[in-house]
C-alpha cells in the first residue's frame, strides 16, 4: 500500500529543481528519501512520471508523491551484555556504552540496546513504541554514554513518559567542551528545530522549532577545554550538543556540531548521561541513579589534568 501527497508549485518556485521543491513541500521527509522516490518513479508531475531530480518545475504544476508504507523490521533478541543499574518487575535502568545505538533502524537492526534488552527480558517489554522500540521511553545518541530507563509494561511506560512530558525527570549530563567560560554557571534558553541549511542537523532556529532549555555549571577548567555539568529542563534532539555549539562551546569530539578535527582523535562527543531521577511507576517513590563517565572519558580528563593534549 502507498499513500499519495499532492503539492502545487508556487510562483516563487518557478524554475527550481524538483528535489528542492519536494524538500520545501515536505520538510518532515529527508532529501535523500525524496531523491530515491524520484529515481524509483514514485513522483509524478502533472500526472506523468518524472525520474530526474534536476527537472525544473513550473508554477502551477501538480506534483504527486507516492509514499510506500514503512516496512516492519523483525527485531531479534541478542545475548549482548548489559550494564544493569536497576531492575524490578516494572522497569530497568541501563548504563548504555558509547557506540551502541538505542533501537534498530533500516540497515542497522543488530547490536542495538533493544536487541540486548529483548534477550534479557524475554520479550516482556512495553509495546507503546511498537515492535522497533519496545520498552524505550527516551533515548540518547549512539556516541553518548549513560543512563536510560526502559519500561517492561505499558502502564509503567505511560507513567514514565508523562513525567518526561511534564519535565519532571532529573537528567544531568557531564561533558567536556571547548573554550573557557566567563561565569561558573548559566542557562541556554533557545528553541531547537531541524537546521534549515542541513536536514541532518538540528539548530537553534525560530522556524518549526520547540522551546529548549539547558542549565550548565562549570566543574573543572583546563583553559582550552572545560568540564561541565548540563541539566536538561527539556529534551530535544541533540539538545546539549546544539546549545553548547550555539554559545561557542561545542563538545569535544562532536563530529557534527564541533570542529572537524580534535587533538585526541576521538570518534564521538564527550557526553555522558550521569544522573537519572524519576518517580517509580508502581510506588510513586522518587528514585535517583548515578553512573560515572566511561573509561575513555576519564582518560581524556586525565590528559587534560596533566596538560597532555
What is the predicted pLDDT for the residue at 70?
59
What mean pLDDT is predicted for residues 243-261?
A: 95
**CATH number of the domain at 70-166, please?**
3.30.2350.10
The two beta strands, 145-151 and 271-279, are parallel
Topology of the domain comprising 2-68: 3.10.290
User: pLDDT by residue (tens digit) across 120-156?
Assistant: 998 789 988 777 788 999 999 999 999 999 999 999 9
Q: How many CB atoms lie within 10 A of CB 23?
A: 17
What is the predicted pLDDT for the residue at 71?
56
For the chain, report the end-to-end CA distance as a whole number of angstroms.
56
User: pLDDT by residue (tens digit) across 13-49?
Assistant: 999 999 999 989 887 677 778 998 999 999 999 999 9
Higher pLDDT pick, 301 / 198: 301
What is the predicted pLDDT for the residue at 130?
75
Residue 209 pLDDT level (bands cut at 50, 70, 90): very high
Q: What is the mean pLDDT of the chain?
A: 92
**What is the location of CATH 3.10.290.10 in the chain?**
2-68
Burial class (CB in 10 A: 0-12, 13-18, 19+), 80: middle
What mean pLDDT is predicted for residues 88-102?
A: 96
Q: Which residues pair with 44 in a beta bridge?
A: 49, 64
**223 and 305 Cβ atoms separated by less than 8 Å:** no
Distance CA 78, CA 93 (A): 18
**CATH number of the domain at 167-309, please?**
3.30.2350.10
**265 and 210 Cβ atoms separated by less than 8 Å:** no
What is the predicted pLDDT for the residue at 168?
95
Q: Any idea which residues carry the catalytic annotation? A: 141
**233 and 213 Cβ atoms separated by less than 8 Å:** yes
HEC letters along the chain: CEEEEEEECCHHHCCCEHHHHHHHHCCCCCHHHHHHHHHCCCEEECCEECCCCCCECCCCCEEEEEEECCCCCCCCCCCCCCCEEEECCCEEEEEECCCCCCCCECCECCCCHHHHHHHHHCCCCCCCCCCCCCCECCCCCCCCEEEEEEECCHHHHHHHHHHHHCCCCEEEEEEEEECCCCCCEEEEECCEEECCCCCCCEEECCCCEECCEEEEEEEEECCCEEEEEEEECCCCCCHHHHHHHHCCCCECCCCCCCCCCCCCCCCCCCEEEEEEEEECCCCCCEEEEECCCCHHHHHHHHHHHCCCC
Residue 308 pLDDT level (bands cut at 50, 70, 90): low
Distance CA 156, CA 168 (A): 15
Instruction: Kindly tell me if the per-residue pLDDT of 1 is higher than 80.
Output: no
**250 and 261 Cβ atoms separated by less than 8 Å:** no
Instruction: Kindly tell me if the per-residue pLDDT of 73 is higher than 80.
Output: no
What is the predicted pLDDT for the residue at 307?
85
Instruction: Kindly tell me if the per-residue pLDDT of 245 is higher than 70.
Output: yes
**What is the location of CATH 3.30.2350.10 in the chain?**
70-166, 167-309
Minimum mean pLDDT range among 113-127, 171-185, 272-286: 113-127
Instruction: Kindly tell me if the per-residue pLDDT of 233 is higher than 60.
Output: yes
Residue 309 pLDDT level (bands cut at 50, 70, 90): low
List all residues 6 or more positions away from 237 whose beta carbon is below 8 Å from its beta carbon. Answer: 192, 202
Residue 107 pLDDT level (bands cut at 50, 70, 90): low
Minimum mean pLDDT range among 8-22, 101-115, 204-218, 289-303: 101-115
Q: Which residues pair with 96 in a beta bridge?
A: 146
Amino acid at each position: 500500500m502507498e499513500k499519495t501527497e499532492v503539492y502545487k508549485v508556487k510562483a516563487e518556485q518557478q524554475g527550481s529543481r524538483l528535489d528542492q521543491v519536494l524538500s520545501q513541500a515536505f520538510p518532515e521527509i529527508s532529501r535523500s528519501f525524496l531523491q530515491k522516490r524520484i529515481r524509483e518513479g514514485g513522483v509524478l508531475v502533472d500526472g506523468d512520471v518524472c525520474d530526474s531530480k534536476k527537472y525544473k518545475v513550473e508554477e502551477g504544476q501538480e506534483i504527486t508523491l507516492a509514499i510506500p508504507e514503512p516496512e516492519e523490521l523483525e527485531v531479534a533478541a541478542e545475548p549482548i551484555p548489559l550494564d544493569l543499574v536497576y531492575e524490578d518487575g516494572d522497569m530497568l535502568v541501563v548504563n548504555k556504552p558509547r557506540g551502541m545505538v538505542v533501537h534498530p533502524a533500516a540497515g542497522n537492526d543488530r547490536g542495538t540496546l533493544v536487541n540486548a534488552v529483548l534477550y534479557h527480558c524475554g520479550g516482556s517489554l512495553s509495546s507503546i513504541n511498537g515492535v522497533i522500540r519496545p520498552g524505550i521511553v527516551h533515548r540518547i545518541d549512539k556516541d553518548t554514554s549513560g543512563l536510560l530507563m526502559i519500561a517492561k509494561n505499558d502502564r509503567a511506560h505511560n507513567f514514565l513518559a508523562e513525567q518526561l512530558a511534564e519535565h519532571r525527570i532529573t537528567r544531568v549530563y557531564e561533558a567536556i567542551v571547548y573554550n573557557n567560560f566567563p561565569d561558573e554557571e548559566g542557562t541556554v534558553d533557545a528553541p531547537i528545530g531541524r537546521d534549515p541549511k542541513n536536514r541532518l542537523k538540528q539548530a537553534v532556529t525560530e522556524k518549526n522549532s520547540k522551546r529548549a532549555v539547558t542549565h550548565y555549571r562549570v566543574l573543572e577548567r583546563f583553559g582550552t577545554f572545560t568540564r561541565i555539568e548540563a541539566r536538561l529542563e527539556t529534551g530535544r534532539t541533540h539538545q546539549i550538543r546544539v546549545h553548547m555549539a550555539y554559545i561557542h562551546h561545542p563538545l569535544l569530539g562532536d563530529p557534527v556540531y564541533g570542529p572537524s578535527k580534535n587533538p585526541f582523535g576521538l570518534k564521538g562527543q564527550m557526553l555522558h548521561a550521569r544522573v537519572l531521577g524519576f518517580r517509580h511507576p508502581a510506588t510513586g517513590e522518587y528514585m535517583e541513579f548515578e553512573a560515572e563517565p566511561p573509561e575513555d572519558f576519564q582518560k581524556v580528563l586525565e590528559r587534560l589534568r596533566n596538560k597532555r593534549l
